[in-house]
């Protein structure tokens, strides 16, 4: 897996080449396999349509 296909916006900064170089690496097959084991099948984001989440959210108070 290669992640070096990035592009700079026109008139980018003087750091653009260095920033792009940071993406010039490859994962080994073992690393890809290790990353795949991290998939938990759940999202870090909640569903705003979930009734339990709506109830919880509506009970939150930021000013107290």
Residues 3, 25 contacting (CB under 8 angstroms): yes
36 phi and psi angles, rounded to 5 deg: -60, -30
Whether residue 58 has pLDDT greater than 80: yes
Q: In this model, does residue 4 exceed pLDDT 80?
A: no
The whole-number pLDDT of residue 23 equals 83
Query: What pLDDT digit, counting tens, does each position of 5-49 carry?
Result: 555 556 667 777 777 788 888 999 999 999 989 888 888 888 888
Contact 4, 20 (CB under 8 A): yes
pLDDT at 51: 95
* pLDDT at residue 62 in the model: 84
């Amino acid at each position: 897996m290669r992640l070096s296909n990035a592009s700079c916006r026109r008139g980018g900064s003087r750091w653009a080449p260095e920033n792009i170089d940071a993406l010039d690496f490859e994962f080994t097959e073992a690393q890809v396999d290790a990353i795949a084991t991290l998939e938990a099948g759940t999202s870090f984001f909640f569903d705003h349509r979930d009734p339990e989440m709506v109830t919880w959210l509506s009970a939150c108070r930021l000013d107290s």
